[in-house]
Amino acid sequence: MNLRANQPAVKEIDGLATDEQGAVFPGSPAGTPLLVRDNVLRVEGGGHRISVPELWNELSPERGVHVVHADTLRSNLTRFSRLLSDTFARDTLVAWALKSFPVQAVVNELAKEQCGADVGSLQELRMALAAGIPGRDIICTGVAKSAQELRAIVDCGATCVLDNADEAAALESIAASAGRVVAIGVRVNPEVATPTHAMIATGAIGSKFGVPIGAAEDFVAAVAAHAHLRVELVHMHIGAHFYHIDPESFARAINREAELVSALHRRYPIRRVDIGGGFRFPFLAPRQARQMGMDDERFHLVTQPDVLERTMAILSQRVIDMPSDIQVVAEPGTAIVCGASFSLGQVLAVRELARLDSPLDGRKIGVGWVLGTASTAEFILRAGVPNLLNQTCIADKAEERDFAAGVGGPLCFAGDVLSPPGFYLRMARPRPGDVLCLANTGAYIGCGFNFHNLPRFAVALMERDGNLRTVRRAEPENPMAHVEAA
């Protein structure tokens, strides 16, 4: 069926970007070592190359699986820690944002590298403690905390970040009853807008996060007046950077925070400054950025495989000095886990809408939709940043490019799409049953939702010796049955 007359202009992107050796962008060290050989996608682990179709067969998932590459995960943390220390030339702590991949095995792997944790709930706090992360290295940044969560913070000796008087009063009461003094972080809003999606921008004027920086000194004084609260940390976070990145805005926000810390340091026992997270991952290869119309100077950094190193280099030149005894804390999430995972789903159906001349190479190709088991229920980041591009291919036809597809899931709403809106991904013509691979998916998976009561994917870990281990089973066919009270 040819629907050319009803089709909008076709905008294509290469679904998969590889280098001359077949390595999938961005390659190591930021990304899992996925590479294409003889038309088949493969992954390196423990000195071996395993074909992704064989990996699928070994794991035999019912609907799909997220695969975590332990070597990449741990090396990303080590690399970030080194860059942070080199940038600020002082004592530093990487408090990994646990919300970015809340699976216990992932927390355990990163805890082996002596990281701290940024946690946003009682449940995340318990996961961090179960992994052996000491309370002194846990930063509790939840926006509004229950009494149960506050008691747990007091019990384990973590730092409680707050930005409102009600939480300070509640925590004072709990700490007094326990006879303990609690380390406090005060979250400030530096009032620096950053060029990112509105749903993940947290540092602009009017944000729900943080005390306006102009009112911060008075707020700190009010918190410090509580007998059982000791203000030790100043915290900020201006939002996550995905397709846009502006190190100058980040540096300006850090400098505002540093000036506040220098003023407070003379009166309060401030020993830490937390610069938040939002450090980006390089999703787009340069060719893909050009195809999406993102090839001007604003997007120069986002296509660089070493974007983290380049960003840190800019920060090191722009950030002012703070008192030498102040520890710098950072809360990376995406930068650590995004490239350390790839996700596999299964093609259920293919809908060809037309056969058209490709704007990329002039070939006559099919254009339509690939519909499968992978959905936005697994990738909640899509709700905030729908125009993200994961490197995407059919695992056993990775080099073929005879179809241009929108990639959609099985959910009954128009936003259940895994390709950037308005673009078709150039890939092989799929068949039902084919294994669809999305690379660089590690940020904010393992924490999705159960729309249509569908079970969420399993999570597997590829250990450093190349062995595969399921670390979170797929949910049962009816994932809510055990909590129903009909």
d(CA 184, CA 224) in angstroms, rounded, equals 9
Q: Around Cβ 19, how many Cβ atoms within 10 Å?
A: 13
Cβ-contact 335, 100 below 8 angstroms: no
Q: Which amino acid is residue 276, in one-letter code?
A: G
d(CA 439, CA 426) in angstroms, rounded, equals 15
Q: What is the dihedral of CA 440, 446, 450, 454, to 10 degrees?
A: 70
CB within 8 A of 144, min separation 6: which ones? 164, 167
Angle at 374 between CA 395 and CA 385, to 5 degrees: 110
Comparing C-alpha atoms, which of 4, 16, 8, 2 is closest to residue 425? 16
412 is catalytic: yes
Q: Which of 156, 160, 412, 437 is catalytic?
A: 412
Task: Tell me the pairing of strands 229-235 and 272-274.
Answer: parallel
Neighbour-count burial of 58, counting CB atoms closer than 10 A to its CB (0-12 exposed, 13-18 middle, 19+ buried): exposed
Cβ-contact 428, 402 below 8 angstroms: yes
CB within 8 A of 8, min separation 6: which ones? none
CB within 8 A of 461, min separation 6: which ones? 67, 68, 70, 105, 106, 109, 468, 469, 470, 471
Cβ-contact 43, 343 below 8 angstroms: no
CA 325 to chain centre: 31
Q: Facing residues of 403 across strands? A: 366, 427
Give me 239's structure tokens.
């939002």
d(CA 448, CA 378) in angstroms, rounded, equals 5
Type and span of the H or E element at 341: strand 341-357
Type and span of the H or E element at 438: strand 435-439
- Buried/exposed 163-199: b ≥16 CB within 10 Å, e otherwise: beeebbebbbebbbeeeeebbbbbbbbbbbbbebbee
CB within 8 A of 354, min separation 6: which ones? 2, 3, 4, 7, 366, 367, 368
CA dihedral over 311, 276, 390, 341, signed as positive or negative: positive
Cβ-contact 190, 201 below 8 angstroms: no
| Residues with a known catalytic role | 412
